Amino acid sequence: MSAETRTKGFPERTIRQVRLDCNRAMIRAKFCPDMSEVAQLRCIDDRPETEQAFGSQLWYFEGLGVDLSVDGEERRHRVFGVVEYSLQFGLHELIEDRVFDSDVQREQYRHFYERGAHRGRWYHPANFWLLAGLAVVAAVWSAILILRPLVM
C-alpha cells in the first residue's frame, strides 16, 4: 500500500477488496495467480457520492505478472493496472479492471475515464448513413403501401 493511500484513510476492508480485484484482473490477463503479485496500490481519483450522482474511484496498481509458457518456462512482465469502481449507496461496485503493458497505455485509459465513456456523438458519419438508410426504407415502404391498392 502506498503512502498516498494511507494518508487518505481508506478502510482496511476497502483496501482488501481493491487488492482482491487487482489480483482477479491479473488472473483475467492470463497471469499465474500463485506467482504474480501486486506490488503497489494507490487511489488516484476519489469522487464522493452526492445526492445527485453516484461517486467513483479509480485505483492504479503496479505489479509483476508471471505467465507460464507451454514448455514450463516462466516469463516475468512488469504490469500496470487499473481498477474502476462506482460508489452507489456506500458500496463499491466494480466497473472495470484492466492490465496494461506500459504506463502510457494506462494513462490513455485514465483520459478515457476522465472524459466519460458514454457520451454520444451525433455528428458521426455512421449516424448520417443510418438516418439516410432509414429514410430510404421508409420511402420504399410508403410507396409500396400507397401503390398496392392501385395495382390490384
Domain containing 135 equals 123-152
Q: Provide the pLDDT for residue 2.
A: 46
pTM of the complete model: 0.65
Q: Are residues 65 and 101 in the same domain?
A: yes
Q: Are residues 136 and 63 in the same domain?
A: no
The CATH number given to whatever domain includes residue 67 is 3.10.450
Q: Provide the pLDDT for residue 148.
A: 80
Q: Provide the pLDDT for residue 75.
A: 86
Which residue stretches of the chain have pLDDT < 70? Answer: 1-8, 70, 116-122, 150-152
Q: Are residues 73 and 100 in the same domain?
A: yes
Query: Can you give the three-state secondary structure of the chain, one letter per residue?
Result: CCHHHHHHCCCHHHHHHHHHHHHHHHHHCCCCCCCCEEEEEEEEEEECCCCCCCEEEEEEEEEEEEEECCCCCEEEEEEEEEEEEEEECCEEEEEEEEEECCHHHHHHHHHHHHHCCCCCCCCCHHHHHHHHHHHHHHHHHHHHHHHHHHHC
Q: Are residues 132 and 80 in the same domain?
A: no
Q: Provide the pLDDT for residue 74.
A: 82
